[in-house]
Amino acid sequence: MNISVFLAPGFEEIEALTVVDYLRRAGQNVTTVSVPEDGCVDEQIVVKGSHGIPVTADILLKDYIKKLDGELTDAIYFPGGMPGAKNLADNQFLFTFTIRMARGGKVVAAICAAPAVVLAPTGILANRKWTCYPEMEKELDKWCGSALKAEELTENSTHIKNVPFVLDNNVLTGRGPGTAEQFAMKFVELLCGELVAERIRQGSCQR
């Protein structure tokens, strides 16, 4: 399967690279995409994380868009971290693409700040169970534009506390960097099945 991982300046390194690592161990085609900071027209292939770790992405967003040519991919993933999640949320292509992916039945995954900051404004959390970094579920008015808008966009959704991840149909959300491994393995299981996930668990000496 083809999975796209979007990296914007300020992304959480553990969350991003743990998922990339485990999905590649599972034999999946993972593409890391460099997303520019909001308002920045000069795209850079090297993206610096929230803890100052530079990561070289596989492709620039503008080239990724051309390569897609209007098609969907099998799965997309948004790591958390700030201001990384905010930079992702401010990108109009990603906003529209996320909605198209969810409506097309493709896998949409996000962890930490990203479920609240990136996914909630798209409306795809409505009628779903989800989780995010603790207390960020209380700031949806900030990310959605207003309390009324947040209520509309997350209508009938249920935020689940104190869990490493929540899978609701084709939307996978995670809690934070300390749960990145569990989240990543659920991602592997979702895309590749339990046998592949178990092989990776044993081979990587997981707890």
E runs forming strands in 75-193? 75-78, 107-111, 129-130, 158-159, 165-168, 171-174
pTM of the model: 0.97
DSSP class of residue 103 equals H
Q: Nearest-CA neighbor of 101 among 74, 65, 129?
A: 74
- The set of catalytic residues is 112
pLDDT score of 42? 79
pLDDT score of 135? 96
In the chain the domains, ranked by start, together with CATH numbers, are 2-198 (3.40.50.880)
pLDDT score of 40? 73
pLDDT digits (tens, 9 = 90+) for 116-171: 999 999 999 999 999 999 999 999 999 999 999 999 999 999 999 999 999 999 99
Q: How far is CA 130 from CA 92, 115, 164, in A?
A: 23, 8, 11
pLDDT score of 39? 67
What is the chain's pLDDT, residue by residue, as a tens digit (207 residues)?
999 999 999 999 999 999 999 999 999 999 999 999 976 777 899 999 999 999 999 999 999 999 999 999 999 999 999 999 999 999 999 999 999 999 999 999 999 999 999 999 999 999 999 999 999 999 999 999 999 999 999 999 999 999 999 999 999 999 999 999 999 999 999 999 999 999 999 999 988
Task: Give the number of C-alpha atoms closer than 13 A to the C-alpha of residue 20, restricted to the C-beta side.
Answer: 20
d(CA 192, CA 95): 27
